[in-house]
Chains A and B, each alone.
Chain A
Amino acid sequence: EPEVTQTPSHQVTQMGQEVILRCVPISNHLYFYWYRQILGQKVEFLVSFYNNEISEKSEIFDDQFSVERPDGSNFTLKIRSTKLEDSAMYFCASSEGGAFGETQYFGPGTRLLVL
């Protein structure tokens, strides 16, 4: 069964460093998402991406964050200058469509630790 994959599974970085989290969505999906889950807190929406542009973003997704689909298969989340509070599990998801009832399929997550 097709699945969303994410790399790396774990990333440790120093505050102020740039990180890139990678995701390979399911191949026929058109909508892509990033969510994050700070330890002990709810899963929160960050950004959705369709047709090579951001379709929605939350207030969390500030100028430090960017997303890209560089090559038609990968979908990346870049954090330009990491802060301690960026430490979280980051989930990528994809769906065939973006409408009501569409199921989002989630990857296993990347656990980011900022020191």
Chain B
Amino acid sequence: AQSVTQLDSHVSVSEGTPVLLRCNYSSSYSPSLFWYVQHPNKGLQLLLKYTSAATLVKGINGFEAEFKKSETSFHLTKPSAHMSDAAEYFCVVSEGGGFKTIFGAGTRLFVKA
């Protein structure tokens, strides 16, 4: 069975410093992995996805994530945080649509000036 664990419920960084949001997954197969961002009162916006091509995936707004099969991890990083990055981030593992799409609990990112 699939599962996804976001290791931090809250992360606080200063503007201009690196961001690391951690995600571990388990899956019987080689899954697709996604990161979505949710700003207050907004929908879920796709940041990036991994689907068995390059293990380092670049997304929008300077985010990237590295798929590490040996560590079953898909951590999200950004070299330099911006105030506008403050939001909730969801790691998602999918072996297909619907039932096979599992969300992590979310990590709320705070960015201090």
Chain A, residue nearest B90 (CB)? A43
Interface residues in A93-111 (C-beta closer than 8 Å to B):
95, 98-109
* Chain B residues within an 8 Å CB radius of A43: 44, 90, 103
Q: Are B43 and A100 in contact (CB under 8 A)?
A: no
Across the interface, do B101 and A45 meet the contact criterion of CB distance under 8 Å? yes
Check A17 for interface membership: any CB of B closer than 8 A: no
| Closest B residue by C-beta to A93 | B44
- Closest residue of chain A to B102, judged by CB? A45
User: What residues of chain B lie closer than 8 Å to A81, measured between beta carbons?
Assistant: none
Q: Are A100 and B36 in contact (CB under 8 A)?
A: no
CA distance A101 to B32 in the complex (A): 5
Q: Which of chain B's residues have a CB closer than 8 A to the CB of A47?
A: 98
Residue B49 is within 8 A (CB to CB) of chain A in the complex = yes
Contact string, B85-106, partner A, CB cutoff 8 A, digits 1/0?
0000010001111110101111
- For A44, the chain B residues whose CB sits under 8 A away are 103
Determine the residue in chain A with the shortest Cβ distance to B31.
Answer: A100
B32–A100 contact, CB under 8 A? yes
Question: B46 contacts the other chain (Cβ, under 8 Å)?
Answer: yes
Is there contact, CB below 8 Å, between A108 and B51?
Answer: no
User: B45, B52, B98, B106: which contacts A42 (Cβ < 8 A)?
Assistant: B106
Interface string of B27-66 (1 = CB under 8 A from A): 0000110101000011111100101100000000000000
Instruction: Tell me, in angstroms, the Cα distance from A91 to B101 when the chains sit together.
Output: 14
Q: Which residues of B contact A6 (CB under 8 A)?
A: 43
A-B contact pairs, 17 of them (CB 8 A): A31-B97, A33-B97, A33-B98, A42-B105, A56-B97, A56-B99, A98-B98, A99-B97, A100-B32, A101-B49, A102-B32, A103-B34, A103-B46, A104-B97, A106-B45, A108-B42, A109-B43
Chain A residues with CB under 8 Å of chain B are: 4, 6, 31, 33, 35, 42-45, 47-48, 55-56, 58, 91, 95, 98-109
- Given contacts A43-B90, A100-B96, A101-B94, list 19 more A-B pairs with CB under 8 A: A31-B98, A42-B103, A43-B44, A44-B103, A45-B101, A48-B97, A56-B98, A91-B44, A98-B98, A100-B32, A100-B51, A101-B51, A102-B94, A105-B46, A106-B36, A107-B43, A108-B42, A108-B43, A109-B44
